[in-house]
Chain A
Amino acid sequence: MKHLAIVSILVVIFTLLTNLFLQSVGLLPVEASTQATIIDRLFNTHFWIISFLFSLITVIVVYSLFVFRRRGDDETDGKFITGSNKLEIVWTLIPLGTVIFFSFLGAQSLAETTIIEPKALNVNVTAGQWYWSFEYPDFEIKTDTLFLPVDRQVKLTMTSVDVIHSFWVPEFRVKQDVLPGENFVKELYFTPTLVGDYTVRCAELCGGAHAYMNSPVKVMSETDFQDWVDTELGSVPQDPVGKGQKLVSQNGCVGCHSLDGSDGVGPTWLGLFGTTQTLADGTSVKVDEAYLKNAIIKPNAQIVAGYPANVMPSNYFDFFDDEDLAYMIAFIKSLQ
């Protein structure tokens, strides 16, 4: 009985200490959405349960290891206790009740995180190897950065052009896989609550440059967001270079091809036009309009030496007409 009393006190102390430790090290990123607050509340309940059960088992076991260890050369056996059905029933039923109650809490938490508000901002998300593209159907804007107003729910309608990707901003907590196919369009709702810069990171292994499939997310005040929309709408570029710049940023080209000369998954575009490049097969080619057009619509035909084949999507032919291609080439040409 004495042992049980000591162990009980130790379990209580260690539970409190473990939980204090877990709370103080800062286990989770900043809470930047309504959903994050709800989810973190459930996390905290989890941390309590983990602290308690961890302390319960380790205290009993470690205490026994010290107190009930064999002394000297004692060759006798321990106490003959084969079990107790009463105890077994207790530690079956209590966990069973806890588990059911906990599942209920979980279901409640899920329901709260999936509440849909009437005036959500619509954004269509397209994911592809390896870029994110965001379209605002209400304003007819397309960008590669997700701009969001604070404190207004956003409804993402998501689809993929190739394999499965997954939309995740750690500060918002929620995550949703993005699937290809028109029957598999998925929706995700969340409400950003904190102005700031975040990053959406693809969370489902999607081959090759999966690690680099990130895009900036900017949460801004309602007025800043409106200003951004106005500028975007007012500043539709007219010249070919401007149109080309818009196309390449909307379609995620610059995720792999840098504009500042730094190395990426593909060759940089800075100063590319007019140079002579050595190809993987040893021949060399002059970078002119014809080469660039070919490189976009048949990316594997002429691979520049030192870069892997089969990395760039080979279905751009379906996306761009000749006019688009000319704009983009004009833009690349301008990067001298």
Chain B
Amino acid sequence: MKKFFSIGIIRGFVFQIFGSLLGAGLFFGIRTLMGLPWKTEPTIVVGGLIGAIFFLIGNGSFRGWWKAAMGEDMPEAHEVKSFNGIRRYFEFTLDHKVIGIQYGVLSMVLLTVGGSLALIFRLELADSGLQILNFVQFNTLVGLHGIILIISILTGISALGNYLVPLLIGAEDMAFPRLNAFSFWIAIPASAILLSAMFFGGFETGWTGYPPNSVRGPMGIQMFFLGVYIAGWSSILGSLNLVATIIKMRHKGMNLFRMPILVWSILSTSFMAMTATQLIGLSFQLVMFERLLGMSFFTPANGGNPILFQHLFWFYSHPAVYIFVLPGLGVISELLPVFVRKPLFGYKWVAMSSLGIALVGFLVWGHHMFTAGIEDYLRVPFMYSSLLVAVPTGIKFFSWAATIWQGKIRFPVPMLFTLGAILVFLLGGLTGPPLGTVSTDLHLHDTYFIVGHFHDTMFGGFIFPIFAAIYYWYPKITGRKLNETLGKIHFYLMTPSFLLMTFGQMRIGLLGMRRRIADYDPNLGFDFTQLLITIAGYLIAVSVLVFFINLFVSAKKGELAIGNIWKSRSPEWSILPSPAPVHNYEGLEFQLVGDPYDYGLKGSKYVELVDTSNSESERVI
């Protein structure tokens, strides 16, 4: 039992519960001393905040910094002794690969939770009328589905960044290992607080949390705001670390245009996450204050402006979409050349298109507000800037098509998911322009067409690529390959189901189905399509279950991955054994001798181990 409580994550949760009670108790105590009565809402907010801080104290996130602050010696990251085996994944550790896997597991857990929430309300929507849920439950589930999956995606791309970036650029670890671990562990209490919104009355605003609705509704909204606020810290600090790592820690000789292309997209994504996340934190914080302290920022009756919130909110939440998809698009560009056996077409253009998307992404938030009542003169410029995103995105598609052209294509499971990603993201991209031109958006805004559109972009830009990435790099993590047959079942079940789901959503959306409604008019004739969407949703869930079974079974019984199983030129496959050693390239002298994707160029290599025979002969003497 004592051993159980010494595990970092358990200690964290015990501390969080204790901290929450302590915070709530202190707040209540102070109010009682002042002669004020019990008030639930501020009490749970203070409790939640203190609880999150206590989690981090409990699992040891502050230990190193505390020592430094006290003037004691703080050991260098690679000198810190860590746990071995499974245990290290539940502890505050500094190895970037362990942290990457921790992020990945958290992402998959949240994916399961968020997806399951959708399965519940899809059951409600399978038929018109209200069957199993009431309004508050439905609205809460819809809102949580959205935000939990957003956190799942953010942690998923952090998993890619943390595990892969140091390996790809030939570094020993991230620039700031302690900050890295901290940014992961802060996401855990954040997720717990988010989910607790369900138990404090839920919330009825969706993940967008628009006031004045969010100012009036049930108080679960406060846990939602607080959870997102804390998760935002994880995102900002994590991306700061990645930017620093990519700029300062590259292996000798690896200039920016010789990096693996995935690193470019992670760099672009990190720039955005580092600078835009503050805005959603700020906007949610203002609504929290409005509810707690009566500061009227957004309620017109007291002089506030509800549209201001939407500007602040979308200034993050639109770039966020590109934050979510850029790493996935990077995975596509990274894997295609390996399985097509041909260089990536137009490397520099693909790299620059990521930066282009990041840049233009900051200028388009207004297209979420075409019907919101923004000034008329704002609508047309936002239309131009929104459609402009098509240009850098187009460069990616054309470059992928040109890469595949005249290759020698192989079809292992990671390649299948890469191709699926291209198809699905293409659909997501093509359904975008009708939302970008104002007059057509007047019809489509807040309908199921949008639901279909963004599920296409999220699956094409994240879900399919992350599965491709897991099938591709899992052997580097475990030393064993995932089962091919199960992988193919996963792919061939998920892809058609997903297409059916989003085509159904877009179809009824065009015909007049609104977003976020618990019940719909049977006279509209949507019942059958809704049933199909629900069935498709459940089939996706089954396929993901197959994937999880594969993850567990293959860890012990999978085929051993020996050597460069994908015949990749990338350093993590061509130099390192699988699973990757603790200190990456330590003891391996290597140098860059070529470009990353020169497949088909005879005798060329990207990286090469330095011939150490000289030093050996010296030793002999």
Interface positions of A (Cβ within 8 A of B): 3, 25, 27-29, 35, 38-39, 42-43, 46, 49-50, 53-54, 57-58, 60-61, 64-65, 68-70, 74, 76-85, 87-88, 91-92, 95-96, 99-100, 102-103, 105-107, 109-110, 112-114, 162-164, 166, 168, 170, 173-177, 179-184, 186, 199, 201-212, 214, 308, 310
Per-residue contact bits, chain B 336-349, to A (CB 8 Å; 1 contact, 0 not): 00001111111111
A57 touching B410, Cβ below 8 Å: no
Judge whether B408 is part of the interface by a CB distance below 8 angstroms: yes
Indicate whether A207 sits within 8 Å of B438 (C-beta atoms), given known contacts A95-B394, A177-B371, A181-B300.
no
Judge whether B423 is part of the interface by a CB distance below 8 angstroms: yes
Query: Complex: how many Å from CA A92 to CA B356?
Result: 12
Judge whether B535 is part of the interface by a CB distance below 8 angstroms: no
Interfacial chain B residues near A183, Cβ < 8 Å: 300
B409 touching A64, Cβ below 8 Å: yes
Interface centre among A54, A61, A74 (most CB of B within 10 A): A61
Interface centre among A54, A65, A83 (most CB of B within 10 A): A83
Query: Complex: how many Å from CA A309 to CA B187?
Result: 34
B437 touching A210, Cβ below 8 Å: no
B600 touching A50, Cβ below 8 Å: no
Query: Complex: how many Å from CA A180 to CA B15?
Result: 43
B385 to chain A: closest residue by CB: A103
Judge whether B38 is part of the interface by a CB distance below 8 angstroms: no
B387 touching A99, Cβ below 8 Å: yes
The interface-forming segment of B204-212, B255-263, B467-475 is B204-212
Interfacial chain B residues near A53, Cβ < 8 Å: 426, 430
B604 to chain A: closest residue by CB: A80
The 4 closest A-B pairs by CB, nearest first: A181-B300, A106-B437, A170-B512, A78-B342
Interfacial chain B residues near A308, Cβ < 8 Å: 134-136
B391 touching A99, Cβ below 8 Å: yes
A205 touching B380, Cβ below 8 Å: no
Judge whether B517 is part of the interface by a CB distance below 8 angstroms: yes
Query: Complex: how many Å from CA A168 to CA B206?
Result: 19
Some 27 contacts from A to B, beta carbons below 8 A apart, are: A28-B443, A38-B439, A49-B430, A64-B404, A69-B410, A70-B408, A70-B410, A80-B342, A81-B345, A82-B595, A85-B346, A92-B349, A92-B394, A102-B433, A107-B438, A163-B212, A163-B213, A173-B443, A180-B300, A180-B301, A181-B306, A205-B515, A207-B213, A208-B136, A210-B135, A211-B135, A211-B519
Which residues in chain B, 368-399, are within 8 Å of chain A measured between CB atoms?
A: 371-373, 376, 379-380, 383-384, 387-388, 390-391, 394-395, 397-399
Indicate whether A78 sits within 8 Å of B439 (C-beta atoms), given known contacts A163-B216, A164-B210, A210-B516.
no
B514 touching A201, Cβ below 8 Å: yes
A81 touching B212, Cβ below 8 Å: no
CB distance from B460 to the nearest CB of A (A): 12
Interface positions of B (Cβ within 8 A of A): 134-136, 139, 204-206, 208, 210, 212-213, 216-218, 299-301, 305-307, 340-349, 371-373, 376, 379-380, 383-384, 387-388, 390-391, 394-395, 397-402, 404-411, 419, 422-423, 426-427, 430-431, 433-434, 436-440, 442-443, 445-447, 507, 510-512, 514-521, 595, 597-601
Interfacial chain B residues near A35, Cβ < 8 Å: 439
A60 touching B405, Cβ below 8 Å: yes
A179 touching B406, Cβ below 8 Å: no
Query: Complex: how many Å from CA A123 to CA B343?
Result: 63
Indicate whether A46 sits within 8 Å of B437 (C-beta atoms), given known contacts A80-B601, A179-B307.
yes
A109 to chain B: closest residue by CB: B439
Interfacial chain A residues near B436, Cβ < 8 Å: 106
